[in-house]
Amino acid sequence: MGKKEDLAAHIRAIKRAWEEMEPGRAERASLSRIRYLEQQAEKLESKPELDKTDKETGTSTVERSRPSTQGSLTQGK
């Protein structure tokens, strides 16, 4: 077996041990991941469009959703 196969087998063994110690853990984790992904999808859908194209000139402008942090990087030194 190669390193990748060894690692995969080790991870499967850990997951089996967790499930034996705490039945239902894998199912709860799966549901938690699904809820998280749904929340992230909702956040993306509710954000305003950031890249807008000026229809008259054909140029594109990008709006920032938060202020730039370039100045704050050097202030803490």
Residue 74 falls inside a structural domain: no
CA distances from 16 to 4, 28, 63 (A): 18, 14, 48
Number of domains in the chain: 1
Structural domain of 31: 1-42
Residue 66 falls inside a structural domain: no
pLDDT, averaged across the chain: 78
Mean pLDDT, residues 52-73 taken together: 55
The pLDDT-based confidence of 46 (bands split at 50, 70, 90) is confident
Residue 10 falls inside a structural domain: yes
3-state secondary structure of 67: coil
Mean pLDDT, residues 10-37 taken together: 95
Residue 22 falls inside a structural domain: yes
The answer to pTM > 0.85 is no
Residue 50 falls inside a structural domain: no
Residue 13 falls inside a structural domain: yes
Query: Distance between CA 2 and CA 5 in Å, rounded?
Result: 5
